[in-house]
């Protein structure tokens, strides 16, 4: 996509969603800083639409200063700088972008061509190229036969090695052998009154699967009347029958129940990315307990830590968050120098680190975020896989021994927000990739 058009689209998204009116005092400096940045970003959008370039430059710079780990703000500075023919501002913004360990194809847009002869541009371009170059450490673990399946979440039963892969499009769960062979689909496609199946986790001690379902337009046969269909499911194994459903209460924002995880003592956790709530279903209870916090904005993956006290959650806008379910303390993990933890989707715990699918940055990648001993900050960020052609839309994964197995090519970007196929996009058979984490 044309660089200018892409950034204008990002700016439009920023103001099409509910915005913070300004730097409200929540008692959480991190949340306040992010709110200041979002408000400035919204003002920059309005200024750009009004062709008030001076105001747009001022507000994009303000957003980037308030929330420097958000790559979109630096890219917005690139766009505004190009419009103003401010070479110094463009180069600075490209450098700040690269300082996050990220890279874009700077030859993909002709608006940057006039800078191509500058040695300073070639230097920053070399950094971008190096940081978007493919890293291929993984192997193909399985290929599903149906290109329309539209996978999102997956997990593996540690007892049998069977894998379970969810389908957004067909509202079912595929079961695969340890060798990747197709066994069955647990439910008839779009035939049991469910929305998209987004996440699944195996609960071996209780011999069940936990799965989340939300009605989204990308599901086959979706109708507006389905929009209230959002549930946590408990599915009995090996029968594949739904034992119980937990519905979440209606919300003006709607719901997208994007991930589910099981704690060491059997507590079940579920994230809602649209109405930002982390739900906990204690092992000794049948009632969902909602957890809310100013740091929660777009919740994604969940990773319970050993000891049953702490669970980590990925927030697309705010990064990795530590939740102490006993004390109630909730903090954002500080990023390691030269990195960002924003834009993470599925996450899991492994040996003092969080393994993450980071698909909200360019290019998408699989990361190992090593934590300090107190679990309060990220001390290093290692790229495990990056920018692999088959892994154009990675989403959720799981640990299997010392390998992280993940969905490589979900299909969100092949459909519009209203569920229509985007012209000239190609569906490919879903692939699971296994990458070593050591």
Q: Would you list the DSSP string of 7-76? A: HHHHHHHHHHS----S----S-HHHHHHHHHHHHHHHHHHHHHTT-HHHHHHHHHHHHHHSTT-HHHHHH
**Distance in angstroms (rounded) separating the CA atoms of residues 180 and 175:** 9
Determine the Cα angle at 271 with ends 171 and 280, to 5°.
115
Q: At what angle do helices 87-98 and 119-132 cross, to 10 degrees?
A: 30
Mean pLDDT for the stretch of residues 29-55? 94
pLDDT bucket at 312, cuts 50 / 70 / 90: very high
pLDDT band at 109 (very low <50, low <70, confident <90, very high): confident
What CA dihedral angle connects 101, 104, 105 and 108, to 10 degrees? -170
Enter the tokens of residue 420: 């229509």
Question: pLDDT-based confidence at 10, cuts 50/70/90?
Answer: very low
Sign of CA dihedral 229, 233, 239, 243: negative
Name the band, by pLDDT with cuts 50, 70 and 90, for residue 8. very low
For residue 230, what pLDDT band results from cuts at 50, 70 and 90?
very high
Instruction: Give the residue-averaged pLDDT of 413-422.
Output: 94
> Under a CB-based contact definition with an 8 Å cutoff, are residues 384 and 432 in contact?
no
Average pLDDT, the chain: 91
**135/24 Cα distance (integer angstroms):** 42
Distance between CA atoms of residues 220 and 227, nearest Å: 13
Q: d(Cα 28, Cα 21) in Å, to the nearest integer? A: 16
Q: Is the pLDDT of residue 192 over 80?
A: no
Percent of the chain with pLDDT over 70: 94
- Is residue 18 scored above 60 in pLDDT? no
Residue 391: both structure tokens together: 């892994």
| Pair of tokens at residue 137 | 């450490």
Region of poorest pLDDT, from 17-26, 30-39, 275-284, 340-349: 17-26
Contacts for 5 with CB less than 8 Å, ≥ 6 apart: none
Q: How many residues comprise the chain? A: 438
The 10 Å Cβ neighbour count of residue 302 is 28
The whole-number average pLDDT for the span 373-378 is 97
Residue 191 clears pLDDT 70, i.e. is over it:
yes
Q: Distances in Å between the alpha carbon of 121 and those of 36, 130, 243? A: 30, 14, 60
Of residues 216 and 8, more confidence is placed in 216
Check pLDDT > 60 for residue 23: no
Q: E strands along 170-229, which residues?
A: 173-176, 182-185, 196-203, 208-214
pTM of the model: 0.91
Q: Residue 220: name the closest of 179, 178, 171 by CA.
A: 171
Mean pLDDT, range 104-110, rounded to an integer = 91
Tell me: pLDDT of 48 over 90. yes
Percent of the chain with pLDDT over 90: 87
Q: Say what the pLDDT of residue 20 is.
A: 35
Residue 76 has pLDDT above 80, yes or no: yes
Mean pLDDT confidence for 105-130: 95
Closest to 350 in 3D by CA, of 336, 375, 373, 370: 370
141: how many CB neighbours lie within 10 A of its CB? 22
CB-CB contact of 107 with 121 (8 Å): no
Assess whether pLDDT exceeds 80 at residue 208.
yes
Residue 214 and residue 198 in contact, taking contact as beta carbons nearer than 8 Å: yes
Residues 14 and 345: their CA atoms lie apart, in Å, by: 19
* Distances from the Cα of 401 to the Cα of 11, 161, 251, 404, angstroms: 42, 11, 39, 8
Query: Which parts of 266-411 are beta strand (E)?
Result: 268-272, 277-281, 289-291, 299-304, 310-315, 319-324, 330-332, 344-350, 353-358, 365-371, 378-386, 397-400, 403-407
* Mean pLDDT value of segment 203-222: 94
pLDDT band, very low/low/confident/very high, at 129 (cuts 50, 70, 90) = very high
Bridge partner residues of 270 (DSSP) = 260, 279
Query: 260, 263, 207: which is closest to 235 by C-alpha?
Result: 207
Convert 14-48 to b/e letters by CB count within 10 Å (16 or more is b).
bbeeeebeeeeeeebebbbbbbbbbbbbbbbbebb
Q: How confident is the model at residue 382 (pLDDT cuts 50, 70, 90)?
A: very high
Domains along the sequence of the chain with CATH:
3-132 (1.25.40), 139-436 (2.120.10.30)
């Amino acid at each position: 996509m044309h660089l200018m058009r892409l950034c204008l689209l990002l700016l439009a998204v920023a103001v099409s969603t509910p915005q913070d009116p300004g730097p409200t005092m929540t008692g959480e400096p991190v949340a306040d800083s992010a709110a200041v940045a979002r408000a400035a970003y919204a003002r920059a959008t309005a200024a750009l639409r009004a062709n008030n370039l001076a105001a747009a430059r001022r507000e994009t710079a303000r957003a980037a200063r308030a929330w420097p780990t958000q790559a979109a703000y630096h890219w917005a500075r690139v766009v505004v700088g190009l419009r103003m023919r401010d070479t110094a501002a463009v180069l600075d913004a490209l450098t700040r972008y690269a300082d996050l360990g990220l890279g874009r194809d700077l030859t993909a847009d002709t608006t940057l061509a006039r800078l191509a002869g500058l040695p300073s541009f070639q230097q920053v371009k070399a950094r971008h190229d190096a940081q978007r170059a493919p890293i291929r450490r993984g192997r193909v673990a399985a290929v599903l036969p149906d290109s329309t399946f539209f996978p999102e979440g997956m997990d593996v039963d540690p007892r049998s090695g069977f894998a379970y892969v969810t389908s957004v499009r067909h509202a079912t769960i595929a079961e695969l052998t340890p060798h990747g062979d197709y066994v069955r689909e647990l439910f008839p496609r779009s035939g049991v009154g469910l929305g998209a199946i987004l996440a699944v986790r195996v609960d071996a001690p209780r011999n069940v699967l936990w799965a989340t379902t939300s009605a989204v337009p990308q599901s086959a046969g979706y109708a507006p009347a389905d929009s209230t269909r959002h549930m946590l499911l408990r599915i009995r194994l090996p029968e594949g029958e739904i034992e119980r459903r937990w519905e979440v209460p209606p919300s003006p924002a709607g719901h997208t129940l994007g991930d589910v995880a099981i704690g060491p003592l059997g507590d079940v956790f579920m994230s809602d990315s649209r109405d930002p709530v982390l739900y906990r279903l204690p092992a000794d209870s049948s009632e969902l307990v909602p957890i809310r916090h100013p740091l929660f904005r777009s919740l994604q993956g969940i990773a319970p830590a050993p000891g049953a006290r702490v669970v980590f959650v990925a927030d697309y806008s705010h990064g990795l968050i530590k939740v102490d379910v006993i004390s109630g303390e909730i903090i954002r993990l500080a990023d390691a120098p030269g990195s960002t933890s924003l834009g993470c989707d599925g996450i899991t715990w492994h040996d003092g680190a969080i393994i993450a699918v980071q698909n909200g940055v360019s290019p998408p990648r699989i990361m190992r975020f090593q934590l300090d001993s107190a679990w309060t900050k990220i001390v290093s960020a290692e790229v495990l896989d990056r920018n692999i052609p088959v892994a154009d839309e990675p989403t959720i994964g799981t640990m299997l021994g010392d390998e992280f197995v993940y969905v490589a090519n979900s299909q969100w970007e092949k459909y519009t927000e209203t569920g229509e196929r985007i012209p000239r996009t190609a569906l490919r058979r879903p692939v699971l990739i296994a990458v070593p984490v050591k």
